Structure formats: C-alpha cells, structure tokens
C-alpha cells in the first residue's frame, strides 16, 4: 500500500511577513526533503480547495466568510500580533484544509494506506470563532468532522505532538464524545491551555511536559497515558497534528526531542491505527521552526508512514 503526499503551491504564497517564523521557507524545506530518491514511491496529490460546507462543520459560516473577506489585495492585514494575512492567505488556507479532507477521502477509499499533508498555514490553534497562533482554519478538526459526516465514522481521534497545545482542536471537540483529542505539549507555553484537568466529556487527554523534557518523558506520556486512552476509544481513523517544534533545535520552545523520537511516536500511532482503524492514518503539518530540524523530522515521519 502506498503513502499519499498532499500539498499545493498556493500554500507557499501565504506570507505573514518578513521575519515571521511561520514562513514559506518551512514548507519549501519539507518538500525539498521529500524530493530525494528514497521518497520516489510517494504518491503525490494536488490539494483541492476545501468547500465552505466542509469548513462550516467546525467554523461558523459567517466566521469563515469574514476571514476570507479580510484577505488583503496587497500588503498585510493582521488578525493579531502573530496571525497575519497576505494576498495569498485565503487560497492557502482553503488548500491546507482541503488537503486533509482529500487525504481522509483517499485513505477511507483504500486508495492509500496513509497520507501526509505538507501544507501551511497550520491549523490547531484556530478555534471555531477565532483565528490565532499562525492558524486560520483548523485543518485537522475540519478533516475529523468530514470523516464523521461524509463517511459515517463513529469515532475519530486526533493526536497532536506539536510542542504547543492545540487549543482550537480541543475547543471544537470538547463537547462531542465521538471525537477524541490527545496532546503532548510544553507547559508553560503559548497558548496557555492544555492542563491535565481539561478533559472535555472524557474525550480529551492532555499531557503537559515541563521545559527541557526529552524523549524519555515524551515516550512515557504516550506509553502511560495517551496510547492506553486511544486503545480504549478505538478510533476508526487516526489523524495526526504533526508539528515538529518539540525538536531540541527549535527556537520557539524548550523540549528536547530528536528525530528518533518522532520515528518512535509515528510507529506507535501506525500500530494503533492497525489495531483499530484498518491502518487508516492521516497526518498534517502543524509547527516546526528550525528549518533543518523540521525537514529532517518530517522526512523521518514520512519514512515511517511509507514502511507501515
Ligand atoms: Zn507549535
């Protein structure tokens, strides 16, 4: 079975400004790493635009329309100090969400074993009514809602190993027991949510990690808490918010992961998907701000997907 890679050049045209860490160079670095001969067997798909109806399963339609209408014709339009629109941002946001939706369709149809979406802007901070933290639409939450609504899946899990807590995904899921959200993240750190006490309706598992935690603490969080909770939930598809900013080289946080930790967690999640979800796993890029560490970590992650 094959691994699909979804991306779109429009995702390079979202430009939050010079010196912004969430730069087009991030996606260029990931795509360059996936162009080397060992990744030749990836099946490459062009990300379609998400439909407004897809987005509206998570974000109220008036919010989505206002966000797209705020995209400037030239220059920049700031939503907040971190979250900035450029003329290419609307198309990028639609393609980023559309990639994850299309990847879910491909994996459920059996056209691929699993998929990775190399897209930006990222999504996991975007709350139903609030774009924030470099994120416009919540790509992974939109894909989860699509898996349930369009394919009738009864249980959909999102696992988020980005160094930041996915407050947006949690906000979208916390009252819905058919959706499950598990996150490891550094605490204290932006956005400030993600304490272990935030449990939704029993469908949220947050494992905050202290600054300077490394692979030992990270793996213990998965082995001790997140994987057992996922086994109890029995997801019919596993979605992954794959941010690589918990890497020891990342400038935005202080966790100490290395590439082998990303390989380990990817293999664990693939095994989980094999146990409960016919192997169905869709991963999408969230953060990761050291270009070399991001490229190497994403390549490691995709290499694991390809050997599933
Ligand atoms: Zn992050």
Q: Does the pTM exceed 0.75?
A: yes
Q: In the structure encoding, which two tokens stand for residue 31, read together?
A: 């795509």
The residue from 8, 125, 185, 301 that is catalytic is 125
- pLDDT given for residue 239 in this prediction: 99
- Beta carbons within 10 angstroms of residue 147's beta carbon: 26
> For residue 25, what is the DSSP state?
H
Residue 1 Cα, ligand 1 centroid: separation in angstroms? 30
Confidence of residue 28 (pLDDT cuts 50, 70, 90): very high
Cα gap 50→150, rounded to integer Å: 13
Q: What is the pLDDT of residues 216-255, one digit of tens each?
A: 999 999 999 999 999 999 999 999 999 999 999 999 999 9
CA 178 to chain centre: 19
- pLDDT given for residue 176 in this prediction: 98
Residue 276 Cα, ligand 1 centroid: separation in angstroms? 28
Q: How far is CA 246 from CA 36, 210, 258, 288, in A?
A: 24, 12, 8, 8
Q: What is the pLDDT of residues 80-106, one digit of tens each?
A: 999 999 999 999 999 999 999 999 999
Residue 176 Cα, ligand 1 centroid: separation in angstroms? 24
Nearest to 244 by CA among 16, 33, 6: 33
Residue 84 Cα, ligand 1 centroid: separation in angstroms? 16
Residue 163 Cα, ligand 1 centroid: separation in angstroms? 5
* pLDDT above 80 for 307: yes
Nearest to 58 by CA among 17, 12, 93, 25: 93
Cα gap 303→308, rounded to integer Å: 9
Cα gap 272→155, rounded to integer Å: 14
Report the share of the chain in percent with pLDDT over 90.
Answer: 99
Residue 123 Cα, ligand 1 centroid: separation in angstroms? 10
125 is catalytic: yes
Residue 164 Cα, ligand 1 centroid: separation in angstroms? 4
Q: What is the pLDDT of residues 103-142, one digit of tens each?
A: 999 999 999 999 999 999 999 999 999 999 999 999 999 9
Q: Mapping DSSP to helix (H, G, I), strand (E, B) and coil, where does residue 235 land?
A: coil
- pLDDT given for residue 130 in this prediction: 97
- pLDDT given for residue 1 in this prediction: 75
Q: Mapping DSSP to helix (H, G, I), strand (E, B) and coil, where does residue 293 land?
A: helix
Do the Cβ atoms of 147 and 156 come closer than 8 Å?
yes
* pLDDT above 80 for 31: yes
Nearest-5° Cα angle at 174, 71 to 82: 30
Task: Report the side by side order of strands in the sheet with 156-160.
Answer: 43-46, 3-7, 114-117, 281-285, 237-242, 156-160, 179-186, 204-209
Residue 243 Cα, ligand 1 centroid: separation in angstroms? 6
- pLDDT given for residue 53 in this prediction: 98
Confidence of residue 11 (pLDDT cuts 50, 70, 90): very high
* pLDDT above 80 for 289: yes
Nearest to 147 by CA among 232, 273, 63: 273
Residue 65 Cα, ligand 1 centroid: separation in angstroms? 26
Do the Cβ atoms of 217 and 197 come closer than 8 Å?
no
């Amino acid at each position: 079975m094959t691994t699909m890679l979804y991306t779109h050049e429009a995702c390079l045209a979202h430009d939050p400004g010079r010196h912004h860490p969430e730069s087009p160079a991030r996606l260029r670095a990931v795509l360059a790493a996936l162009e080397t001969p060992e990744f030749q067997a990836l099946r490459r798909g062009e990300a379609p635009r998400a439909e407004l109806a897809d987005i509206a399963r998570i974000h109220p339609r008036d919010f989505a329309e206002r966000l797209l209408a705020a995209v400037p014709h030239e220059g920049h339009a700031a939503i907040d100090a971190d979250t900035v629109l450029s003329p290419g941002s609307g198309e990028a946001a639609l393609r980023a969400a559309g990639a994850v939706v299309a990847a879910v369709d491909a994996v459920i149809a059996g056209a691929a074993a699993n998929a990775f979406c190399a897209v930006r802007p990222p999504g996991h901070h975007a709350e139903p009514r609030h774009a924030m933290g470099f994120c416009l639409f919540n790509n992974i939450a939109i894909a989860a809602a699509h898996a349930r609504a369009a394919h009738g899946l009864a249980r959909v899990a999102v696992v988020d190993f980005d160094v930041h807590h996915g407050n947006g995904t949690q906000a979208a899921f916390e009252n819905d027991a058919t959706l499950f959200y598990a996150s490891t993240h550094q605490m204290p750190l932006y956005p400030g949510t993600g304490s272990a006490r935030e449990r939704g309706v029993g469908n949220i598992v947050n494992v905050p990690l202290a600054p300077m935690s490394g692979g030992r603490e990270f793996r213990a969080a998965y082995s001790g808490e997140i994987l057992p909770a996922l086994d109890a939930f029995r997801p019919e598809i596993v979605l992954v918010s794959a941010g690589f900013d918990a890497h020891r080289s990342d400038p935005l946080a202080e966790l100490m992961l290395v590439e082998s930790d990303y390989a380990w967690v990817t293999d664990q999640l693939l095994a989980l998907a094999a146990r409960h979800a016919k192997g169905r796993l869709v991963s999408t890029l969230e953060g990761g701000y050291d270009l070399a560490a991001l490229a190497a970590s994403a390549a490691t992650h995709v290499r694991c997907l390809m050997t599933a």
